[in-house]
């Protein structure tokens, strides 16, 4: 390829996904649909069986070349007419005259799209499963790795890194459910002609359509216009946008935890010669996570034209065609890519338990105020009164930059209700992890089935 412009051509995307949407692959999917249509016509007696066999034999990129299709399209200015003419040319005898019989262009295009969606979503699901497995392993490994929980960007109460990973694994599991559940509505084709009546197919139109979709293992658009309903494409791109948002969420967390003042986890540098900055030699930047965040925003942006494309004049206009050439392959290729990149990050992530403990200690006991409050309530103090004591004590500790234990030791109500050991136990983060371990084990069991 000379002077590629799109970064997908040279920078982003796995070969497996790009192969699904390459020019040659796209042509093959279109030819597959044309061949299946010919066989359906033969089954009901509309065309000779040997004609369908010849069309099927020649409906491959071995015979129908991309270069010839492009050459014809320059003359016809119609992509599907170029495909059908190129296929007809290579068919022996009279078989060529039966190519594309009764079909409109988008019978072929939308059905081929569904075949591409089936292959692409299968590959994406495979990547999601790999990522889920990686997160489950991290949850197991770090079941007891204590760290600060944070809300509003501030210290809250202790959690474990294992719990964070288990929560992430469950989110991936839900994304797998979503991509599976949308397939019944997204993987559909049609053979109902220019306005959905199937008139050109003749009296056996419904049978032809049934044969084609059964052969291709696709669902059927029961009531079509000239195209498959674009509400289906909106759903697909919505699921992809949701997945992309999950990837950006995970990446943002890693980027935050890798900040110099936190430094609890970090991306691994992939090679000894990797450079973080062209001017600052010390930099080790979370560049993969930043790439994921940037590409996730591109994926989500494609949902807008997907909605616009669903608004058609009467039974069809052509406004969807050009934008779908961009948004469909790009959304699927980039979604797969950022899942793959996210899995690479988590597989090689550097977790720093000692830094997590250091940050806990640096918090000077403030994240344990809820634990102390809860212990006071257990001893019979009203919750409101306990909350006020801890609120004032926490403010005093923060203002004077001293440990919360020091302030609480001077509070008469606390010393009256709690022994020194009880106070120390309440201020110990290891004693205030709730049901974290059970939750992690429950998730691991669920996702390991």
Same domain, 306 and 268: yes
**Chain mean pLDDT for the chain:** 95
Could you confirm whether 330 is annotated as catalytic?
no
Same domain, 94 and 121: no
Same domain, 35 and 111: no
447 in a structural domain: no
- pLDDT at position 274 is 53
436 in a structural domain: no
Same domain, 301 and 385: no
Q: Which pLDDT band, with edges at 50, 70 and 90, does 281 fall under?
A: very low
Three-state secondary-structure class, residue 261: coil
Burial degree of 231 (CB within 10 A; 0-12, 13-18, 19+) = exposed
- pLDDT at position 278 is 46
- pLDDT at position 282 is 47
Could you confirm whether 314 is annotated as catalytic?
no
How many domains would you assign to the chain? 3
- Select from 191, 204, 142 the least CA-distant residue to 167: 142
416 in a structural domain: yes
- pLDDT at position 3 is 83
List pLDDT tens digits, range 222-234. Answer: 999 999 999 999 9
Residue after which a domain boundary falls, among 358, 383, 398? 358
Q: What is the CATH number of the domain that holds 347?
A: 1.20.200.10
In the structure encoding, which two tokens stand for residue 7, read together? Answer: 């970064």
Q: Which pLDDT band, with edges at 50, 70 and 90, does 449 fall under?
A: confident
Same domain, 261 and 161: yes
162 in a structural domain: yes
Whether the pLDDT of residue 1 is over 70: the answer is: no
Higher pLDDT, 3 or 191: 191
Q: Catalytic one among 152, 260, 271, 448?
A: 152
The whole domain housing 378 covers 366-426
Q: What is the CATH number of the domain that holds 70?
A: 1.10.275.10
437 in a structural domain: no
Whether the pLDDT of residue 371 is over 90: the answer is: yes
Same domain, 410 and 384: yes
**Rounded mean pLDDT of 56-66?**
98
Q: Are strands 154-160 and 146-151 parallel, antiparallel or unpaired?
A: antiparallel
**Percentage of the chain surpassing pLDDT 90?**
94
328 in a structural domain: yes
- Select from 396, 400, 394 the least CA-distant residue to 365: 394
308 in a structural domain: yes
Residue after which a domain boundary falls, among 63, 98, 133? 98
**Rounded mean pLDDT of 133-137?**
98
List pLDDT tens digits, range 285-304. Answer: 899 999 999 999 999 999 99
- pLDDT at position 273 is 53
Contact 196, 13 (CB under 8 A): no
Q: Could you give the CA distance from residue 79 to residue 83 in angstroms, rounded to a whole number?
A: 6
Q: Catalytic one among 277, 301, 415, 435?
A: 277
Same domain, 189 and 295: yes
Q: Which pLDDT band, with edges at 50, 70 and 90, does 284 fall under?
A: confident
Whether the pLDDT of residue 416 is over 80: the answer is: yes
Q: What is the CATH number of the domain that holds 391?
A: 1.10.40.30
Residue after which a domain boundary falls, among 98, 126, 161? 98
Same domain, 119 and 51: no
Q: What secondary structure, in 3-state letters, does the chain show?
A: CCCCCCHHHHCCCCHHHHHHHCHHHHHHHHHHHHHHHHHHHHHCCCCCHHHHHHHHHHCCCCCCCHHHHHHHHHHHCCHHHHHHHHHHHHCCCCHHHHCCCCCCHHHHHHHHHHHHHHHHHHHHHHHHHHHHHHHHHHHHHCCCCEEEEEECCEEEEEEEHHHHHHHHHHHHHHHHHHHHHHHHHHCEECCCCCCCCCHHHCCCHHHHHHHHHHHHCCEECCCCCCCCCCHHHHHHHHHHHHHHHHHHHHHHHHHHHCCCCCCCEECCCCCCCCCCCCCCCCCCCCHHHHHHHHHHHHHHHCHHHHHHHCCCCCCCCCHHHHHHHHHHHHHHHHHHHHHHHHHHHHHHCEECHHHHHHHHHHCCCHHHHHHHHHHHHHCCCCHHHHHHHHHHHHHHHHHHCCCHHHHHCCCHHHHHHCCHHHHHHHCCHHHCCCCHHHHHHHHHHHHCC
List pLDDT tens digits, range 239-278. Answer: 999 999 999 999 999 999 999 999 999 998 765 555 555 4
- pLDDT at position 283 is 47
Same domain, 46 and 168: no
Return the minimum-mean-pLDDT range out of 150-164, 280-294, 319-333.
280-294
Same domain, 280 and 222: yes
Same domain, 86 and 113: no
**Rounded mean pLDDT of 209-213?**
98
**Rounded mean pLDDT of 195-218?**
97
Q: Could you give the CA distance from residue 346 to residue 143 in angstroms, rounded to a whole number?
A: 16
449 in a structural domain: no
Contact 286, 254 (CB under 8 A): yes
List pLDDT tens digits, range 69-78. Answer: 999 999 999 9
Same domain, 155 and 211: yes
């Amino acid at each position: 390829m000379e002077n590629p412009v799109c970064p997908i051509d040279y920078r982003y995307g796995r070969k497996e996904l790009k192969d699904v949407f390459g020019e040659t692959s796209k042509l093959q999917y279109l030819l597959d649909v044309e061949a299946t249509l010919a066989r359906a016509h033969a089954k009901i007696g509309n065309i000779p069986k040997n004609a369908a066999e010849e069309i099927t034999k020649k409906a491959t990129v071995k015979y129908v070349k991309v270069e010839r299709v492009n050459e014809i399209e320059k003359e016809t200015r119609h992509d599907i007419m170029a495909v059908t003419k190129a296929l007809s040319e290579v068919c022996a005898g009279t078989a060529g005259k039966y190519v594309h019989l009764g079909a409109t262009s988008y019978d072929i295009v939308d059905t081929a799209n569904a075949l591409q969606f089936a292959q692409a979503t299968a590959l994406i699901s495979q990547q999601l499963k790999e990522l889920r497995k990686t997160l489950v392993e991290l949850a197991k490994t770090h079941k007891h790795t204590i760290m600060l929980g944070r809300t509003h960007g501030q210290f809250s109460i202790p959690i474990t890194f294992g719990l964070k990973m288990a929560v992430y694994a469950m989110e991936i599991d839900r994304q797998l459910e979503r991509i599976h559940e949308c397939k019944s509505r997204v993987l559909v084709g049609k053979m109902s002609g220019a306005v959905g009546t199937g008139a050109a197919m003749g009296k056996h139109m419904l049978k032809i359509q049934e044969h084609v979709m059964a052969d291709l293992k696709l669902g059927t658009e029961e009531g079509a216009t000239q195209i498959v309903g674009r509400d289906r494409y909106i759903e697909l791109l919505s699921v992809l946008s949701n997945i992309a948002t999950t990837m950006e969420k995970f990446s943002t967390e890693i980027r935050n935890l890798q900040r110099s003042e936190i430094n609890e986890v970090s991306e691994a540098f992939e090679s000894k010669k990797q450079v973080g900055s062209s001017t600052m030699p010390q930099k080790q930047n979370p560049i993969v996570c930043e790439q994921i965040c940037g590409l996730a925003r591109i994926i989500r942006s494609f949902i807008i034209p997907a909605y616009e494309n669903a608004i058609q004049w009467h039974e069809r206009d052509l406004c969807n065609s050009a934008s779908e050439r961009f948004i469909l392959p790009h959304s699927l290729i980039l979604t797969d890519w950022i899942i793959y990149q996210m899995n690479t990050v988590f597989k090689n992530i550097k977790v720093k338990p000692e830094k997590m403990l250091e940050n806990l200690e640096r918090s000077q006991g403030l994240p344990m105020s809820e634990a102390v409050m809860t212990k006071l309530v257990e001893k019979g103090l009203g919750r409101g009164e306990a909350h006020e004591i801890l609120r004032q004590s926490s403010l005093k500790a923060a203002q004077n930059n001293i440990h919360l234990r020091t302030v609480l030791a001077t509070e008469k109500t606390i010393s009256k209700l709690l022994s020194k050991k009880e106070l120390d136990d309440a201020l110990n983060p290891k004693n205030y992890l709730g049901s974290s371990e059970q939750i992690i084990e429950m998730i691991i069991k669920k996702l390991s089935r």
